[in-house]
Amino acid sequence: MKQLKSFIKKEFYHIFRDVRTMLILFGIPITQLLIFGTVIKNEISNVPVAIYDQSKDDVSLELSAKILSSGYFQLNENLGSIAGIDEIFREGTVKQVIIFENDFGEKLQREGVANVQLIADASDPNMARLVTSYTTGIINDYITKMHPNLQMPLRIKPEVRMYFNEEMKSAYQFVPGTMALILMLVSALMTSISITREKETGTMEVLLASPLRPVQIIVGKVLPYLLLSVANAFVIVFIGRLVFGVPVAGSFILLMLETILFITMALCLGILISTIAKTQLVAMFISLIALMLPTIILSGFIFPIENMPTVLQWFSHIMPARYFITIIRAIMLKGVGILFIWKETLILLGMTLLFISISVKKFKVRLE
């Protein structure tokens, strides 16, 4: 026990005295979270648009003002003719052109039908879809409010409600995902590097020649990083709440317990990597390429698993992050308890046990 204690103390010295380690441990998670938070967005704001208003009556002007004051759009130019449209898109200065036809207000009054044309720059299809649907939304909203008595032709109007994320905030998607990604990366990367570093500098030879047992070395390596990663998880949840307004609807304690389970799993995976890798470089390569990319792509963090080809869906089953993301989304957004996520929890537990038993077994008590 005393051996383990001093081993852990030594590990903390290594961590706190190495600037690079500290950066990876605390710098990367926070920057990554902030970067993902501001970059991955399905919301739009201040998109430059141009308007070609051929009628310039009360209705069209009011509608324009409504669109521009929504905060989503920003007027770049008022066009005088249809000829400029092609060029303005080629220049790329605007993402959308809104065209009102002649006598827009009058037609609407008289015939109940008036045309407004939306032309979007679809070189970025995602953007184009978002921009046109936002605009359509504003226009429809305006019409119904202006003419509450207007009997539109018979139609079914769906009342859409976005459950658990009423405002469709993308932060709700990326905060759990980023948390899984960061914890996975930092934990697996740091343990695998710290063990291979001992191999590289030759200190592993001295450790092996000592009475230390493999279990003591492994636990001594895992425990310090577990503590620091839990601290990291706190920071992520805190930033998610404070900066991006992501709530924790469910039990915070359950969330943390699940997080500790996931971190332990990632740390054991790191140990497993270090039993294969001989140098820090190889360990880093395996951790980054073999863990980070599949975690981003196949875990359901960004791309929905249901839309993947069947083969990739199978692959996603062996991604530990997939289960963790399901778990924390359930706890943070839906506020459910363990009864709804016991399956995922068991799978993570099983993975942890698998990795640790392989690691202990593969950990060499000699140099070869």
Binding residues for other proteins (CB under 8 A): 2-3, 5-7, 9-10, 13-14, 17-18, 201-203, 205-212, 365-368
Q: How far is the CB of 163 from other proteins (least distance, A)?
A: 52
- Smaller CB separation from other proteins, 306 or 368: 368
The amino acid present at 307, given as its one-letter code, is N
The answer to whether 44 and 92 are in contact (CB under 8 A) is no
Q: How far is the CB of 265 from other proteins (least distance, A)?
A: 28
What are phi and psi for residue 212, nearest 5 degrees?
A: -60, 140
- Smaller CB separation from other proteins, 18 or 77: 18
Q: Are strands 116-120 and 96-100 parallel, antiparallel or unpaired?
A: antiparallel
Q: How far is the CB of 25 from other proteins (least distance, A)?
A: 16
Question: How many other C-beta atoms lie within 10 A of the C-beta of residue 317?
Answer: 11
Question: How many other C-beta atoms lie within 10 A of the C-beta of residue 154?
Answer: 5
Dist CA 131 CA 43 (whole Å): 9
Q: How far is the CB of 17 from other proteins (least distance, A)?
A: 5
99: which strand partners?
Answer: 52, 117
Q: How far is the CB of 6 from other proteins (least distance, A)?
A: 4
- Smaller CB separation from other proteins, 123 or 210: 210
Give residue 159's Cα distance to chain centre. 28
- Smaller CB separation from other proteins, 154 or 365: 365
DSSP letters of 204-218? Answer: HHHHHTSS--HHHHH
The answer to whether 286 and 303 are in contact (CB under 8 A) is no
- 66 CB contacts (<8 Å, ≥6 apart)? 138, 142
Dist CA 256 CA 329 (whole Å): 13
- Smaller CB separation from other proteins, 13 or 285: 13
- Smaller CB separation from other proteins, 64 or 274: 274
Cα dist from 43 to 40, 133, 296, whole Å = 9, 11, 21
Dist CA 306 CA 304 (whole Å): 5
Cα dist from 77 to 33, 74, 88, whole Å = 36, 9, 9
Q: How far is the CB of 280 from other proteins (least distance, A)?
A: 15
Q: How far is the CB of 41 from other proteins (least distance, A)?
A: 42
- Smaller CB separation from other proteins, 22 or 293: 22
Q: How far is the CB of 276 from other proteins (least distance, A)?
A: 20
- Smaller CB separation from other proteins, 153 or 202: 202
